[in-house]
Amino acid sequence: MMGELILRNLLHRPMRTLIGAMGIAVEVALVILIVGLTNGLLTETAKRIEGIGADIMVQPPSASFLFAFGSAPMPIKIGDKLAELKYVKSVAPVLFQFNTSGVEVVYGIDSESFRAVSGGFVFLQGNDLEGPDDILVDDIAAKTKKIQPGQTYRIFDHDWHVAGIVEHGKGSRLFVPLATLQELVGARDKATIFFVKCTRPEHMDDVMENIRHILPGYTVRPLKDYLSLMTSTNIPGLEAFINSMILLAISIGLLVIFLTMYTTVIERTRDIGVLKSLGANHWFVIRALLAESAALCLLGVGAGVGLSYLVRAGFLWKFPTLTILITPEWILRATGIALAGAMLGASYPAWMASRKDAVEALSYD
């Protein structure tokens, strides 16, 4: 009976129900998309770094694991010292340069050493870096930027010749010769990071120990741990930003439900009087209104999840390099967040309804 009452009440004012549900949908979609975009970018970046295939990464002391924040403070000769260590198969120095126009990190690589560490690129079109102004572009960036081999591509105020299109997943989306990038950014003989490949994976701990011995204070990490580092909690301010956005989303849902239920209670003042005349107690009235809010909220959650997938599809169509990770875990969390907000928003109108004087309510016009 309670279910029928709630359903009929929701259907009685379809426009109000629709607006209420859309408010919740926006809340849910905001939560899912903000978290999805953040986690998607972090996870995708981490997977690309892991895809390089190295075993160890070496960075200067106190370096951030966020490569976009890196500079080039390490002499490239460190690479020679690393290569001499026992169980080290190959070492690839890489210079990172953040391209503000494309919001991406460009890798300056030495083709030979990078190939030795990563196993080489899979070429979809064109060939490897040969000239000083050559650039390699991965397939996703090529599709997004509509780049073909032989074209000229301009970044860092420099015209590059597109030498080849490679399969994505080897760290960056754009690769240029190390020496040219060093010249361009004024970091001659410097590298941001060294990727180290061991002769066998089981020697990784020994190699890391040896590196720490010859380069005390340097940051030495196994690449397999990189994915676990790339979380919002490890990035300064990001967790706070996400929480702020979630709070903002909750506020939207809370206000929408509050307003919807407040007007509902005023409109149904006489009905509340009737229920009380039939012997309904405070809890019955509260329960009926909270259950109606929950039902409205769940409608909104369904619409919100659908909206999230729709927005994601739109974004990926427009920006193929983006990754928006929608997970069941965060759909559940967003549902919980929306429900909690809805209950909070409905609690005052429900309390107000339960306290209504039956006689006054019955004479309400």
C-alpha torsion 249→250→254→260, nearest 10: 40
The residue range among 2-10, 83-91, 196-204, 303-311 that interacts with another protein, by the rule CB under 8 A, is 2-10
Least CB distance from residue 237 to another protein, whole Å?
A: 49
Q: How far is the CB of 24 from another protein (least distance, A)?
A: 21
Quick check: 9 binds another protein (CB under 8 A)?
yes
Contact track, another protein, 243-282, x by CB under 8 A: ---------------------------xx-xxxxxxxxxx
Closer to another protein by Cβ: residue 14 or 237: 14
Question: Is residue 1 a contact point for another protein (CB under 8 A)?
Answer: yes
- The least distance separating another protein from the CB of residue 8, rounded to whole angstroms, comes to 4
Q: Identify the residue among 124, 140, 311, 358 touching another protein (CB under 8 A).
A: 358
- Closer residue to another protein, CB minimum distance, 174 or 275: 275
Residue tagged 């426009």 (tokens): 15
Cβ distance to another protein smaller for residue 217 or 279: 279
Residues in the interface with another protein (CB under 8 A) total 24
Q: Which is nearer to another protein, 1 or 103 (CB)?
A: 1
CB of 362 to another protein, least distance (A): 7
Q: Quick one: three-class SS letters along the chain?
A: CHHHHHHHHHHHCHHHHHHHHHHHHHHHHHHHHHHHHHHHHHHHHHHHHHCCCCCEEEECCCCCCCHHHCCCCEECCHHHHHHCCCCEEEEEEEEEEEECCCCEEEEEECHHHHHHHHCCCCEEEECCCCCCCEEEEEHHHHHHHCCCCCCEEEECCEEEEEEEEECCCECECEEEEHHHHHHHHCCCCEECEEEEEECCHHHHHHHHHHHHHHCCCCEEEEHHHHHHHCCHHHCCCHHHHHHHHHHHHHHHHHHHHHHHHHHHHHHCHHHHHHHHHCCCCHHHHHHHHHHHHHHHHHHHHHHHHHHHHHHHHHHHHHCCCCCCCCCHHHHHHHHHHHHHHHHHHHHHHHHHHHCCCHHHHHCCC
Q: Which is nearer to another protein, 168 or 276 (CB)?
A: 276
291 binds another protein (CB under 8 A): no
Closer residue to another protein, CB minimum distance, 270 or 333: 270
Binding region for another protein (CB under 8 A) out of 44-52, 107-115, 144-152, 357-365: 357-365
Query: Contact between 18 and another protein (CB under 8 A)?
Result: no
Given the complex with another protein, which of 68 and 280 has the nearer CB atom?
A: 280
Minimum Å gap between C-beta 4 and another protein is 6
Backbone angles phi, psi at 93, to 5 degrees: -80, 140
Q: How far is the CB of 173 from another protein (least distance, A)?
A: 57
Contacts to another protein by CB under 8 A: 1-2, 4-5, 8-9, 11-12, 270-271, 273-282, 284, 358-359, 362
